[in-house]
Amino acid sequence: MKASQNFTSIPYEKFPWLTTILTVSLWLFLGNGVALAKGVDQQQLVDNARHTLESFTDDPHLTWFQSHVKDAKALLIIPQSLKGAFIFGAEGGSGVLIIRDTDSNDWSNPAFYVLGGLSFGFQWGGQASEVIIMARTDGAVEKLYTSSFKLGGDASIAAGPYGAGVQGSTSANLNADFLSFSRSKGAFAGISFEGAVIYASDDSNKAYYGKAVRPIDILLKKSVSNPHADGLRQAAKKAVQ
């Protein structure tokens, strides 16, 4: 079982050479770096997010997630979070956010986001994981409407429980704005992602909906839609039934 992990908040704007180190690390260990908004096919990302959600809801090791996903106000699904490190580390990936209508249990069309974080310490290598971040409070949802915010600073986040009980968690964890769930090569554990930044991918949202839109236009005002997202929305509705 993997241990929980936090991201260290690093004032990298004061150390511009960190950017070069992190970029080289990702390219060395992950081949083509973190797949952020540019170069990502939006529909493929939506389809991959559906597969990730279905695999989490079917996995016998993730029963806490399955039992409590009905309590989620929103889900940020990142089908592939890539991590690379050489002393300094970076982890992140592209994902989609869907928000639940508590009256109908219908889910919104997806808004595209990017998650990125930095860490420091003796590190080496690369890894790919599937990640779902569950928003559990109204305050968490409000943060998601903004263009960007920092986890652990602007909103609390903790590693979500795994297994049949509350293994790997505490009551304090369960009161966090966000709970994160991650799995990689058969290992199941939450990663808190504290210190990581979530920001809206304006380019991907524009490409998917055919015009410039903000997350609040997609998620709350529902001024745009894309029928190709229905598979993901139906998978989410099935998960909470």
Query: Which sign does the torsion angle of CA 202, 129, 135, 90 carry?
Result: negative
Whole-number pLDDT of residue 173: 72
Whole-number pLDDT of residue 185: 63
Q: Cβ(161)–Cβ(190) under 8 Å?
A: yes
Is residue 221 exposed (0-12), middle (13-18) or buried (19+ Cβ within 10 Å)?
exposed
Helix (H) or strand (E) holding 173: helix 171-174
Report CA dihedral (180, 183, 188, 192) to the nearest 10 degrees: -30
Q: Cβ(92)–Cβ(117) under 8 Å?
A: yes
Angle, in degrees to the nearest 10, between helices 42-58 and 202-209: 100
Report CA dihedral (118, 123, 129, 132) to the nearest 10 degrees: -40
Whole-number pLDDT of residue 191: 61
Say what the pTM is. Answer: 0.77
Reading the chain (241 residues) residue by residue, the pLDDT tens digits are 344 444 444 444 444 444 444 444 444 434 433 444 443 589 999 999 999 999 999 988 888 899 999 999 999 999 986 554 444 445 578 899 999 998 888 999 999 998 876 444 434 444 567 889 999 999 999 989 888 888 887 788 888 887 654 444 555 577 889 998 888 765 544 566 777 888 899 999 999 999 999 999 999 999 999 999 999 999 999 998 8
- The domain limits of the chain are 12-239
Closest C-alpha to 99, from 136, 78, 74, 77: 74
Whole-number pLDDT of residue 141: 92
Whole-number pLDDT of residue 192: 62
- Report the SS3 class of residue 191: coil
